[in-house]
């Protein structure tokens, strides 16, 4: 598996398995299938309500803990120094782990700075190998970097052919932050899987559109965490390291960028209010 080296020297697989929108009752089976297929990076979140299923799959897999890279995320209702520490303990307990490889602030709302202090402390204790953020636009990311000792190792943001984040990625690179894609397939929006440009490239390589999208992200040095509940698709998504897109093909995909989110604009006041006031039930 190809890896990226985070700013603190930790190696992270460039391709992992995400469990967003996988129901809790299906999570253990899906993650078990993913681990059997060869995935070693797993991405979950407190807000997904399926950390326990991820943990059960890890325990039953027989895969040594040191071979895994496990990420989870802190939700807004648990923001703040004291609450973040308690939320971290809860996630660790649900996952059944002694430490996390990556812990992210899920949304750029609430007491982000209190949460970051807690995460810096947990990182200093060796309970988290790397800390980062998710859904931070450049202004919020730079402000967080400039006012704290530890720079976020990762920023997980919506990134796909229709919203490519190239300028954001360049800023992150300069600031020592690794970009990670959520929603790499745009959940099929804009007819991604039948897009004629992507389909033409896929046919040229004898691959699927999904494989072309993952390969495009990997060639851009973007960490990616596709989700599937089908074992055959999991295997297909992993099979992207033995071909390479040409420069012309990369340019053709670059032309698909709309420069706008297909999901949520985290700078929209309505979105800020909606997400910022959503409390998890435990």
pLDDT in tens, 69-91: 999 999 999 999 999 999 999 99
Nearest to 74 by CA among 52, 45, 36: 45
pLDDT tens digit sequence for 144-197: 999 999 999 999 999 999 999 999 999 999 999 999 999 999 999 999 999 999
Domain map (residue ranges) of the chain: 3-257
- Which of the four pLDDT bands, split at 50, 70 and 90, describes residue 282? low
Mean pLDDT on 111-126:
97
Half-sphere exposure of 104 (CA within 13 A, CB side): 26
First to last CA, the chain: 35
| Distance from C-alpha of 189 to C-alpha of 262, rounded to nearest angstrom | 8
Residue from 39, 48, 103, 163 carrying the catalytic annotation: 48
The edge-to-edge listing of strands for the beta sheet with 154-158 is: 17-18, 41-43, 69-74, 100-105, 128-134, 154-158, 178-182, 223-224
| Helix-then-strand count for the chain, H and E | 11, 10
Is residue 79 within 8 A of residue 87, CB to CB? The reply is no
Q: What is the pLDDT of residue 212?
A: 98
Nearest C-alpha neighbor of 223 from the set 180, 184, 183, 185:
180
Q: What is the pTM of this model?
A: 0.95
Assigned CATH for 3-257:
3.20.20.100
H-helix or E-strand spanning residue 250: helix 247-254
Query: What is the C-alpha separation between 180 and 119, in angstroms, rounded?
Result: 19
For residues 256-281, average pLDDT: 91
Residue 109: active-site member: no
> Distances in Å between the alpha carbon of 54 and those of 25, 37, 225?
11, 15, 15
- Average pLDDT on 94-106 reads 98
- Dmax over CA atoms of the chain, in Å, equals 54
User: Per-residue pLDDT for 281 more than 90?
Assistant: no
Helices (H), 20-175: 24-37, 51-61, 81-95, 112-124, 138-146, 166-175
Residue 11 CB: number of other CB atoms within 10 A?
Answer: 13
Q: What are phi and psi of 46, to 5 degrees?
A: -55, -40
State pLDDT tens for residues 221-266: 999 999 999 999 999 999 999 999 999 999 999 999 999 999 988 9
**What are the start-end ranges of the H helices in 147-246?**
166-175, 196-205, 209-219, 231-238
Q: Which of 21, 12, 1, 95 is nearest to 57 (CA)?
A: 95
In the predicted model, is pLDDT for residue 117 greater than 70?
yes
Give the relative orientation of helices 24-37 and 231-238 as an angle to the nearest 10 degrees.
40
Measured in residues, the chain has a length of: 282
The pLDDT of residue 11 is 98
Please tell me the distance from the alpha carbon of residue 131 to that of residue 125, in angstroms, as a whole number.
Answer: 12
Over residues 108-120, mean pLDDT: 97
């Amino acid at each position: 598996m190809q890896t990226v080296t985070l700013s603190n020297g930790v190696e992270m697989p460039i391709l992992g398995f995400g469990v967003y929108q996988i129901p809790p009752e299906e999570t253990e089976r899906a993650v078990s299938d993913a681990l059997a297929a060869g995935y070693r990076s797993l991405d979950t979140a407190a807000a997904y309500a399926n950390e326990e299923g991820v943990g059960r799959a890890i325990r039953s897999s027989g895969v040594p803990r040191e071979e895994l890279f496990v990420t989870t995320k802190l939700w807004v209702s648990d923001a703040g120094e004291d609450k973040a520490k308690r939320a971290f303990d809860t996630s660790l307990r649900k996952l059944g782990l002694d430490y996390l490889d990556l812990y992210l602030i899920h949304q750029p709302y609430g007491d982000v700075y209190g949460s970051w202090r807690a995460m810096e402390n947990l990182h200093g204790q060796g309970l988290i190998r790397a800390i980062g953020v998710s859904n931070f636009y450049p202004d919020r990311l730079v402000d967080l970097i400039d006012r704290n000792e530890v720079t976020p190792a990762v920023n997980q943001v919506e990134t796909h052919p229709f919203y490519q984040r190239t300028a954001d990625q360049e800023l992150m690179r300069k600031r020592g932050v690794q970009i990670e894609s959520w929603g790499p397939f745009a959940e099929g929006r804009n007819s991604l899987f039948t897009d004629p440009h992507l389909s033409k490239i896929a046919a040229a390589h004898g691959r699927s559109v999904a494989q072309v999208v993952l390969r495009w992200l990997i060639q851009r040095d973007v960490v990616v965490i596709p989700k599937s509940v089908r074992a055959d698709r999991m295997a297909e998504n992993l099979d992207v390291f033995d071909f390479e897109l040409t420069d012309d093909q990369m340019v053709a995909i670059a032309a698909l960028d709309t420069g706008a989110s297909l999901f949520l604009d985290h700078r929209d006041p309505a979105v800020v209010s909606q997400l910022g006031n959503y409390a998890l039930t435990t």
